[in-house]
Structures are given as C-alpha cells and as structure tokens.
C-alpha cells in the first residue's frame, strides 16, 4: 500500500539529492505536503530533482565542508524555521580494492564523504532539533547492506557503512532526552545508474572471484521505505530497516 500524500507534512532535508536514491527519495517527498530541502554539490542536478515543485528548497552543499554544512542549517533555520527529518544519504562507493591496495587519499576521501559528512549533517540537525519548539525530530541514515556484509574489494566503503551503524546508535541514544530519534536504512541493489552493471552487463564481483548479474528492485521502493520511516509518530522509531532485491546474494554471501 502506497503512503498517501497527507501522511507527511513536516520538513525534511535530503543530502545527495541530485541523483540515485537521494533523487528518488526527494521526488517521493515532493509528492507529499511536506517542505523538502535538497542538498548536494551540483546545483543543476538538484534543480532537475526539484523541477516543478514550489515547496522544494535547493541548497548546494558540500557535506565534507563544515562551513558549508553550517550555511545549510542556517538556511533551514532562517527560511523554514524547523527541521523534522534529516535523510543522511550523501555518499560515494570510493575506491575498489583490498586494504593493502587503496591509496590513502582515496581512503580518506571516502571516509570524509560517507562518515564525516554524515556526522556533520547529523550534528547540525541535532543542534537545530534541540533548539526548535516543539523540540525533537528524526534522523534517518543511509547505511547499505554493506553495513552487515561486504562485497569483495570494498574495504573503504564497507568500513564507512559499519561505522555508520555505530553513529546511528549513538545518535539514537544521545538524542533521547530531546525527543530525537535515529534509525538506519540498509538498501541492497536498488536500480540506480550506479548499479547498472549489477543487473546487466558485467554483473557484480562475487566472493569466489566470478562475476554474476544480480536481481535489482525499483529505486522508488527504497524511497517509499524512507517515507514510511519518516512519517511514523514521535512515539515510534525504526532502529534498522533492510530493503533489498528479492533473491539477491546477501544472506548467502561469503
């Protein structure tokens, strides 16, 4: 059953909203009555996501830049007044390689985007949620099923996604006195442009060294799952949700 447009009427910030899961999620929320803030590095891509929607706010932001993130939350505070939900989605796959094969600059860049960027945005959201009236809000972190089991040659990406789980749990615990909840959505094989080779073409590298095509599912269903988490009442929270393509080799990895 699809959520109705009336079920979310608050304000949400979506990072990485210019493509992939972020774009699909932003477009889903733009079908609701909510106010949607779209953040990402490329203004043109954000404007494409927001096209035709008067309740969209496009705020180009580099989540790895603390000053840029501060400007993002200053914009929300000044122009919207409050933040009900943060979808911490910006991320990169980073370099392919085992731990002994990854150049240090590429390792550090992956951590900067996937982990430090998420921390900076969560920190900005928590500060705003603590200060607003009524107090509180919800943070949803995009984890990935790599937070549970890695693919081969994904040491940098997998490390950040395992760390995201720790960040999620810490935010949830520390946010309790302020009515702030934090949950994680772990998505596997959503059909986006970055995942084209998994569902067709060369396929995905498997633990035995072969490559195989794997099932994918419509990215819009991942967006619907984020909407489900966002529209829960303040008395309920999803700690972890896993949504993956039916039949993908996840449970049987290794």
Neighbours of 98 (CB within 10 A): 10
Residue 114 tokens read as 């996937």
Residue with tokens 């509180």: 136
Q: Which of 14, 157, 188, 225 is catalytic?
A: 157
CA distance 86 to 35: 12
Residue 178 annotated among the catalytic residues of the structure? no
Looking at residue 112, the DSSP 8-state letter turns out to be I
Residues 178/193, Cβ–Cβ less than 8 Å = no
Q: Which residue has the tokens 């080799």?
A: 249
Q: How far is residue 44 from each of residues 51, 64, 74, 90, 155, measured CA to CA in Å?
A: 10, 19, 22, 16, 32
Q: Write out the E strands in 102-209.
A: 137-142, 180-188, 190-191, 204-205
Residues 6+ apart with CB under 8 A from 245: 188, 189, 190, 214, 215, 216, 217
128: number of Cβ within 10 Å: 20
The CA distances from residue 18 to 21, 70, 90, in Å, are 9, 20, 9
Q: Which residues does the annotation mark as catalytic?
A: 157
């Amino acid at each position: 059953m699809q959520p109705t447009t009336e079920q979310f009427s608050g304000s949400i910030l979506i990072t990485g909203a210019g493509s992939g899961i972020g774009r699909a999620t932003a477009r889903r929320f733009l079908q609701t009555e909510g106010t949607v803030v779209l953040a990402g590095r490329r203004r043109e891509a954000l404007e494409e996501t927001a096209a035709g929607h008067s309740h969209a706010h496009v705020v180009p932001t580099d989540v790895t830049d603390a000053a840029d993130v501060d400007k993002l939350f200053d914009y929300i505070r000044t122009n919207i007044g409050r933040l009900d939900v943060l979808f911490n989605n910006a991320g990169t796959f980073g370099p392919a390689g085992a731990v002994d094969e990854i150049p240090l600059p590429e390792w550090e860049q992956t951590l900067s985007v996937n982990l430090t960027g998420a921390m900076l945005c969560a920190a900005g959201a928590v500060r705003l949620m603590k200060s607003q009236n009524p107090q509180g809000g919800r943070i949803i972190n995009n984890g990935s099923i790599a937070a549970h089991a890695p693919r081969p040659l994904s040491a940098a990406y997998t490390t950040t996604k395992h760390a995201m789980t720790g960040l999620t749990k810490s935010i949830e615990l520390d946010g309790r006195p302020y009515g702030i909840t934090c949950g994680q959505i772990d998505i596997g094989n959503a059909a986006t442009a970055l995942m084209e080779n998994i569902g067709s073409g060369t396929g995905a590298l498997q633990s035995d060294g072969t490559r195989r095509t794997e099932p994918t599912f419509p990215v819009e269903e991942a967006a619907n799952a984020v909407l489900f988490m966002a529209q829960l009442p303040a008395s309920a929270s999803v700690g972890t949700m896993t949504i993956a393509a039916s039949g993908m080799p996840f449970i049987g990895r290794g």
